[in-house]
Amino acid sequence: MSKRHFTLTSVQALPPYRLRLTYADHQTYEVDLHGWIKHTQALAALEDPTLFAQAKLGFHGHCVDWIEDELDLAADNLRNLAIEQAGGIGHERIWSWLHETGLTLEQAARALGISRRMLIYYRDGEKPIPRSIWLACLGWEATRPQGDALPIRIPTVQQYAALHA
């Protein structure tokens, strides 16, 4: 399976602590790394503007390198952060939601009223996550049974919409 959408084709360091990233699917994003640098000890060296400006493509476009084999950031994490900073919903939220709920792909897709394949597209960052899907995830989380409570039947997004149409 190709993950071209996570393969970088170009990186440009911009002051202060921003990167312009272009991916193999021709999408370009700007990401502000100041918060990550400030709050992550492993990235503290990047507070040096001279070092930060040396950002370059790393290992076949799968990361941004500053010091090879010592200081880099993965292309998929950078894309996720850029999407989140632009007001979108990054694919890592679906990964986390699936992990936290313990749902299988089939169960989660049924609960959201979408196909398993579409859920995989969202989870893998191949398609942008619609706000309605993320809100459905949050709604499912808020209404799921807790502890030893009897299981309740949660309607899918489509069933809910049909009931309130």
Would you kindly state where each structural domain of the chain is located, as residue ranges? 4-85, 92-163
Question: Where does 92-163 sit in CATH, by number?
Answer: 1.10.260.40
3-state secondary structure of 66: strand
Output the pLDDT for position 138: 93
Supply the mean pLDDT for the chain.
Answer: 88
Number of Cβ atoms within 10 Å of the Cβ of 38: 12
Residue 4, pLDDT above cutoff 90 = no
Structure pTM? 0.77
pLDDT band of residue 141 (cuts 50, 70, 90) is confident
4-85 and 92-163 share one CATH topology? no
Output the pLDDT for position 145: 63
Percent of the chain with pLDDT over 90: 77
pLDDT, average across residues 61-67: 95
Residue 154, pLDDT above cutoff 60 = no
Number of Cβ atoms within 10 Å of the Cβ of 143: 11
pLDDT, average across residues 82-109: 93
Least confident of 75-79, 123-127, 151-155, 159-163: 151-155
pLDDT, greater one: 19 or 2: 19
Kindly report each contact of residues 43-47 with a partner whose C-beta sits within 8 Å and lies 24 or more positions away, as own/partner: 43/71, 43/73, 45/71, 46/17, 46/71
φ and ψ at residue 75, rounded to 5 degrees = -60, -35
As given in the structure block, the two tokens for residue 77 are 């994490």
Residue 136, pLDDT above cutoff 50 = yes
Output the pLDDT for position 149: 45
Residue 150, pLDDT above cutoff 50 = no
Output the pLDDT for position 163: 53
Question: Where does 4-85 sit in CATH, by number?
Answer: 3.30.2020.10
